[in-house]
Amino acid sequence: MQNTDWEGRYQSRDMPWEKGEPSPGLVDFLAAHPELARTPVLVPGCGTGHDVRAWAKAGFPVIGYDIAPSAIDLCREKTRELGLTAAFVPGDFLADPPTQPFDWVFEHTLFCAIDPGRREEHVQAVIRWLKPGGQYLAVNYLIPDTEGPPFGTTREEQIERYSPHFDLVEEWVPRSYENRTGLERMFWWKRKEP
């Protein structure tokens, strides 16, 4: 299978995942948890940065990371326009060494975007970028599609892949974009101490 040309998709503006707003599930999570310490967050596969800006608005120091330099340009432009503070870095989340240890990794439509044969690399990357005891918050797309991206996953797969390395804090069905209602599930994980 050929890997997706993400940079080409941004250059040709072929971005059907672009919703113009952050994940509703993330917005609700942040509103429901004002008690959380404002510690560093990484948003890998951040696209044009809506979720990064949601974390920034809630007061978290946050870095958006994306393999497509054109996505990073769009992130910086939009964030500047809105007068928010967030950093954006181009890079490969699956392959790169962490730029710093993070307290949070937030996943939204990166897992479903990568080739299913690389899913173990995703698990290992989340572990690598997080501090021990760090938290992994995911909005997973539970669709049956095998011809992607997006490639579907199941609740069972998420539990099987992440529970050896993470304790599950909570899982729920979030509020979603209109065309994804009932198709998403959020998982809040805490990385196990070594």
Instruction: Give me the residues that bind ligand SAM (CB under 6 A), please.
Output: 6, 17-18, 44-47, 65-68, 71, 92-94, 108-110, 113-114
Q: Which of 93, 60, 190 is nearest to 132 (CA)?
A: 190
- Tokens, residue 137: 């918050």
Could you tell me the smallest distance in angstroms from the CB atom of residue 157 to ligand SAM?
18
Question: Is residue 139 within 8 Å of 184, Cβ to Cβ?
Answer: yes
Q: How far apart are CA 111 and CA 53, in angstroms?
A: 20
- Tokens, residue 75: 């992130």
Q: Which is nearer to ligand SAM, 17 or 188 (CB)?
A: 17
**At a CB cut-off of 8 Å and minimum separation 6, what does 33 contact?**
none
Q: How far apart are CA 106 and CA 42, in angstroms?
A: 6
Q: Which is nearer to ligand SAM, 25 or 47 (CB)?
A: 47
Q: How far apart are CA 36 and CA 175, in angstroms?
A: 21
Could you tell me the smallest distance in angstroms from the CB atom of residue 63 to ligand SAM?
12
Could you tell me the smallest distance in angstroms from the CB atom of residue 69 to ligand SAM?
9
Could you tell me the smallest distance in angstroms from the CB atom of residue 120 to ligand SAM?
13
Q: Which is nearer to ligand SAM, 47 or 134 (CB)?
A: 47
Q: Which is nearer to ligand SAM, 35 or 81 (CB)?
A: 81
Could you tell me the smallest distance in angstroms from the CB atom of residue 60 to ligand SAM?
17
Could you tell me the smallest distance in angstroms from the CB atom of residue 64 to ligand SAM?
9
Q: Which is nearer to ligand SAM, 108 or 191 (CB)?
A: 108
Nearest residue to ligand SAM by CB is 47
**At a CB cut-off of 8 Å and minimum separation 6, what does 23 contact?**
50, 51, 54, 108, 139, 174, 177
Give the H/E segment covering residue 184: strand 184-191
Q: Which is nearer to ligand SAM, 58 or 139 (CB)?
A: 139
